[in-house]
Amino acid sequence: MPVNQFSTRELLYLEDTGKLFDTIDKTCQHALMEVTDPQIKSLISSMNNAHKQWIQSTTSLVTKSSLQ
């Protein structure tokens, strides 16, 4: 699969989005410490894992683009 070059604007957008997901991660970690209901903990954990996967995928794209 060919990797596209990202524009500066796109890279800044991805950086901002990454910061947003870092904040979501911190919020989820805090919520996991506070919540006692196992179903809610599971929901929060699943949501946080999905965000982490998105971040990893995005980081991989940006890294590959930067290396070209």
Q: What is the pLDDT of residues 14-41, one digit of tens each?
A: 888 878 888 988 999 999 999 999 999 9
In the predicted model, what is the mean pLDDT of residues 59-67?
Answer: 68
Q: Select the more confidently predicted residue: 57 or 42.
A: 42
**Residue 67 within any structural domain of the chain:** no
Please tell me the predicted confidence (pLDDT) of residue 1. Answer: 45
**Residue 12 within any structural domain of the chain:** yes
Domain carrying residue 40: 8-62
With the CA atoms of 62, 66, 67 and 68 taken in that order, what torsion angle do they form, in degrees rounded to the nearest 10? 110
d(CA 45, CA 41): 6
The pTM of the full predicted model, rounded to 2 decimals, is 0.66
**Residue 3 within any structural domain of the chain:** no
d(CA 2, CA 43): 35
**Residue 16 within any structural domain of the chain:** yes
**Residue 68 within any structural domain of the chain:** no
**Residue 2 within any structural domain of the chain:** no
